[in-house]
């Protein structure tokens, strides 16, 4: 049986041509209790985009761990924030990392932002059988640099579990703690000073940490910030020059200043 010839540089088409689609699922009468990762959000600040997530993963009412890395670097100019089932989300991240690198090496140029956004949407659509069964659901956020403008501008995109994609003008959130965080972001941008879009990077980091503190008070699945225990957020900034990780030590300095 012949297989369709994949488009040059398209790693996902290459997988499909060899019947190696990474996400598929059969029927299941009883789904296991799933590990869930929440909460993630992203917003524009003065010089870029800050993407943040708590570190808690839960399975039902059980806290599985407070050490999950929910903000993942896909390449030198794009970030993925995972909300939903970590096993599925981590696999999607690995496929995207390989896909972006495969294209860069085979075509001698990076994939465009629009193509990266579509690649993630395609993976979510391929995960549809698992989503319909109620297992393996992922509702991620994506941030990437738009290189079609000068200087390169960071953009935020959010998705539903079926793969529909939307560009966020100011901010986006996903996961069980996201409603509280989006409400505060909206209020801060419209009525308070300074609005997130005018904050410096340090101001944005401090604000993001406080957002997670508030969300953890209203949502048991959201892990907060615990200075004594050394529990911080996963934070990465995306600016025109690239990605800037903000580790726990820097978070403690900013929060205490």
Catalytic residues: 38
User: In this structure, are residues 175 and 83 in contact, taking their beta carbons and an 8 Å threshold?
Assistant: yes
Phi, psi of 184 (to 5 degrees): -65, -40
Q: Please state the separation of Cα 103 from the chain's center in Å.
A: 21
d(CA 183, CA 238): 23
Helices then strands (H, E): number in the chain? 7, 13
- C-alpha dihedral sign at 247, 45, 158, 239: negative
Could you tell me which residues come within 8 angstroms of residue 209 by beta carbon, excluding any fewer than 6 positions away?
52, 225, 232, 233, 251, 254, 255
d(CA 112, CA 127): 23
- C-alpha dihedral sign at 141, 147, 149, 153: positive
d(CA 76, CA 79): 9
């Amino acid at each position: 049986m012949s297989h369709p010839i994949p488009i040059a540089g398209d790693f996902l088409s290459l997988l499909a041509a060899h019947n190696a689609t990474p996400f598929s699922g059969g029927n299941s009468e009883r789904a296991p209790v799933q590990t869930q990762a929440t909460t993630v959000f992203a917003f524009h600040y003065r010089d870029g985009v800050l993407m943040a997530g708590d570190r808690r993963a839960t399975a039902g009412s059980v806290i599985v761990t407070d050490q999950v890395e929910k903000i993942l670097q896909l390449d030198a100019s794009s970030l993925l924030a995972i909300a939903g089932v970590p096993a599925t989300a981590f696999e999607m991240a690995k496929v995207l990392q390989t896909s972006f690198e495969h294209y860069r090496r085979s075509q001698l140029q990076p994939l465009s932002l629009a193509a990266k956004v579509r690649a993630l949407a395609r993976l979510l659509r391929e995960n549809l059988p698992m989503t319909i069964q109620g297992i393996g659901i992922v509702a991620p956020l994506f941030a990437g640099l738009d290189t079609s403008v000068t200087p390169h501008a960071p953009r935020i995109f959010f998705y539903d579990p079926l793969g529909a994609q939307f560009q966020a003008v100011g901010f986006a959130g996903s996961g069980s703690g996201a409603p509280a965080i989006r409400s505060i972001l909206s209020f801060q941008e419209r009525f308070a000073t300074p609005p997130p879009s005018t904050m410096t990077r340090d101001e944005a980091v401090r604000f993001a940490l406080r957002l997670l503190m508030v969300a953890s008070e209203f949502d048991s699945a959201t892990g907060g910030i615990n200075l004594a225990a050394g529990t911080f957020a996963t934070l990465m900034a995306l600016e025109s020059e690239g990605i800037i990780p903000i580790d726990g030590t820097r978070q403690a300095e900013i929060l205490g200043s």
